[in-house]
Structure 1
């Protein structure tokens, strides 16, 4: 296969968009806004990835601990017999179930925290973008009023 290059890799989008002069449109401002949007999404994705890594690491720790606990419980069960054994099995099953519920809540909390932090990044950017849009709209309005005064 021939050595192919991306025909768009050398393009400067900001310069190209700047060549399209539209009245009352600040292309630099638009490009800055879009760059900030991409940065915010990149940060939100990194926060989500970090949260997932934390979740997977914790799941692995829990799995190791549960395996160790299961081996200890099995050894203890082998050492007991009769009604003592049945009672011990019931206590062990109850303790394991309660621990499992706690672990599920912990996993849910880790995931919820990660999602909340990622959403906070996006929400903050949306709020900033709305403020930027208000400022831009106000400058368009002012420019239009000035143009109307000059025409009269």
Structure 2
């Protein structure tokens, strides 16, 4: 048995369908449309994966930054040997505001990634509609 070609996973299916010559069915056009569907899904998945990786990297950077700031603050307070002051409270508040701003950036990055993935799928759906219209017009 011959090995499937990873570059063309539809080759075997195409050969099988060509054996059955059905009137009104353009097998090459149907197979090409399905190939494009799979390519669109792969592209959407790659876009989503890249977005998730970017999001994870940003989260790690934010966590390191926040922990570094809090560690620095704790070191300063313990070195002074005094109880936390109003300045310490202000620094903690600033850290919290920064963390909130970072979370907003993460939400925006996630939204952008989802929007890009959706755009790939929506484009392919639109192409499917156009292909169907073309096929229906050819039959008239």
Q: TM-score, normalised by structure 2?
A: 0.87
CA distance in structure 2 between the partners assigned to 1:97 and 1:66 by the alignment: 9
- How many residues end up aligned between the 2 structures? 134
CA RMSD, 1 decimal: 2.0
Give the deviation of 1:62 after TM superposition: 1.1
Q: State the match for 1:81 in structure 2.
A: 82
Q: Does 1:49 align with 2:49?
A: yes
Whose Rg is larger? Answer: 1
- Where 2:85 maps in the other structure, the secondary structure is helix
Q: State the match for 1:147 in structure 2.
A: none
Flag structure 2 segments of 5+ consecutive residues without an equivalent. Answer: 6-10
Q: Which 10-residue stretch deviates more, 10-19 or 46-55?
A: 10-19
Return structure 1 stretches of 4+ with deviation > 3 angstroms. Answer: 7-11
Flag structure 1 segments of 5+ consecutive residues without an equivalent. Answer: 143-152
Output one character per residue of 1:33-67: Cα deviation in whole Å (capped at 9) or x when no partner.
00000000000000000011111111111111112
Give the deviation of 1:81 after TM superposition: 3.1
Q: State the match for 1:69 in structure 2.
A: 69
Output one character per residue of 1:111-132: Cα deviation in whole Å (capped at 9) or x when no partner.
1111110100001111111000
